[in-house]
Amino acid sequence: MNANAGRISVNAPGRATRAVRPPISAPHLEQLRRYHRRLQSQLEATAQIHPALADLLSSFPAAIVMLALRAGPPATRGEAVFQARQGASLAQIAEALDLPYWTRRLPPEAFIAPIDLRREDRDDENFGRQLLPTKPASPRAIGLWLNWVHRARQFAGDEFALWLAKQPVFRAPRSPLAWGRLPATRALDALALYALASQIEEQGPDFPLPPPFTLRMGFGAACDNALDWIHALTQDLICEGVYGCDFVQSPRMVDGIAFVPLHSRADLCAEARAMRNCLETYADRVRCGICRIVSLRKDGSSIATLELSAYNHDALDLAVHNLMGRQNSVVSAYVDSAVQRWLEWHNRIAAMARPLAAENEKILPGWQALRTQIGALSRKHGLARSPLLAIENPRGTIDALRIAAWRLSAIRRYGNVNV
């Protein structure tokens, strides 16, 4: 460290001030402006300690970011500062900080938030050689790319992270003000959970397995598989006991009208053609559990479409969000009365099931079996535990899965992580 850095100097009797560090040079200041604004003040303070540290702004951005944000043990940071002041090579500085040497090739724009790039137990140099050629061309997209790839490696392994790094969904934001805004990581957590769960060899009796994930799969296909699996998983959790049971799973007759739930995209598209409306655009909302769609049919023909949503975030208490006839026309009083009677029946039975739901919430053998299987895979490959598996409350699990699925569906729709 600089001998004067952080020392107290006496300028007048009874008054003590901290010594002012000299400003960094103009070339270093120009490099500093390439970093995100939320990191610049800490980086500048670190660069003012010694010119050798200021040189890291251009020669080794990952190292100076780690020093500025005080990542890692203090002893390793102190050793790295000592090595830099002694004129050590970048390889020696990387060794002191326990950073893979390939990280020296990451540009300043890659660092938009604190990130721990220290060595994993796996082959870091080989991973870096395969990763660096896949980085986006736009400097302002590299930060999003690095954060997602690093998180994917933590929760699903090297192969999944390298697959994700090659996907054409990392583009710079349209607005310069949006640069550095981290994308919704829950969407990535859902995709990583699907990729890891697809490695389970034998299907358990209490939970659905996703379709296999392969490295040749496109991003859209992987998202569709993940969304379909999460929808099936949340429905199983509901029926298994989180909410006692799901009363919108099977048809029911009221006043001669059949209330038929629509679950799949094919069902919604068929209903949209019959009713001449835009119901096919609701597929992602239904798949993510944002709403329920029920077709009202008389004598086998669709006469109205009912959209239901949870009232006050309680899946046991449904409310009518939309009720429209053919071509979005107003329904008759007869149909409206049947809907009210059906909804009263549903909420009355749901209220009776609420105490049962509180008891069943403590068991959920299917969810526990899935957590055990994926936990064993994570430990086998040295991975971190998925945040979606760390939620102990089953209702919170369903809400987290649905939110993750909804954000993943938005990325799937727009083909861009930065949405």
At 369-385, the pLDDT tens digits run 788 888 888 888 889 88
Last residue in a domain, options 356, 376, 394: 356
Residue 393 has pLDDT above 80, yes or no: no
Look at residues 101, 121, 155 and tell me which one is the last residue of a structural domain: 101
Residue 186 inside a domain? The answer is: no
DSSP state of 310: E
Give the pLDDT confidence score for residue 165 in this predicted structure. 94
Q: Yes or no: say if 71 and 114 are a contact pair by the CB < 8 Å rule.
A: yes
Sign of CA dihedral 70, 74, 80, 84: positive
- Residue 209's nearest CA partner among 61, 8, 377 is 377
What ranges make up the beta strands (E) of 153-289? 252-254, 257-262
In a domain, 74, yes or no: yes
The range of the structural domain enclosing residue 7 comes to 1-101
Structural domains in the chain (count) = 2
Q: What is the pLDDT of residue 6?
A: 41
| Secondary structure (3-state) at 301 | strand
The answer to the question of residue 256 being in a domain is yes
Does position 10 have pLDDT exceeding 60, yes or no?
Answer: no
Q: What is the mean pLDDT of the chain?
A: 81
Residue 174 has pLDDT above 70, yes or no: no
Which helix H or strand E contains 47, and what residues bound it?
Answer: helix 37-47
**pLDDT tens-digit readout, 327-345:** 889 999 999 999 998 888 8
* Chain segment 25-44, per-residue pLDDT in tens: 899 999 999 998 889 999 99
Nearest residue to 136 (alpha-carbon basis) of 168, 174, 97: 168
Q: Band the pLDDT of 114: cuts 50, 70, 90.
A: confident
Q: For residue 264, which of 237, 232, 242, 296 has the smallest C-alpha distance?
A: 232
Question: Is the pLDDT score of 243 beyond 60?
Answer: no
Q: Does residue 343 belong to any structural domain of this protein? A: yes
Residue 98 has pLDDT above 80, yes or no: yes
In degrees rounded to 5, what are phi and psi of residue 111?
-105, 100
**C-alpha dist (Å) from residue 245 to 99, 235, 358:** 51, 10, 12
Instruction: Give the torsion through C-alpha atoms of 152, 157, 162, 165, to 10 deg.
Output: 0
For 185-226, the pLDDT digits (tens) are 788 999 999 999 998 876 555 667 888 899 999 999 999 999
Beta bridge partners of 17: 9
pLDDT at site 172 = 60
In a domain, 270, yes or no: yes
Please report which confidence band the pLDDT of residue 72 belongs to, taking 50, 70 and 90 as the band edges.
Answer: confident
For residue range 125-161, what is the model confidence (pLDDT) as tens digits?
A: 889 999 999 999 888 788 889 989 999 999 999 999 9
Neighbours of 203 (CB within 10 A): 10
Final residue belonging to a domain, choices 340, 356, 372: 356
Flag whether 417 is in a domain.
no
> Which residues lie closer than 8 Å to 13 by C-beta, 6 or more apart?
none
Q: Which residues contact 174 (CB under 8 A, 6 or more apart)?
A: none
pLDDT of residue 20: 62
Residue 189 Cα to chain centre, angstroms: 4
Q: Does residue 368 sit within a domain?
A: no
| Residue 176 pLDDT greater than 90, yes or no | no
The Cα 294–Cα 225 span in angstroms is 24
How confident is the model at residue 16, as a pLDDT? 45
**For residue 57, with 0-12 CB atoms within 10 Å meaning exposed, 13-18 middle and 19 or more buried, which class applies?**
buried
Would you say residue 386 lies in a domain? no
Per-residue pLDDT, averaged over 75-98, amounts to 92
The DSSP secondary-structure symbol of 238 reads I
Report the distance separating Cα 113 and Cα 181, nearest Å. 9
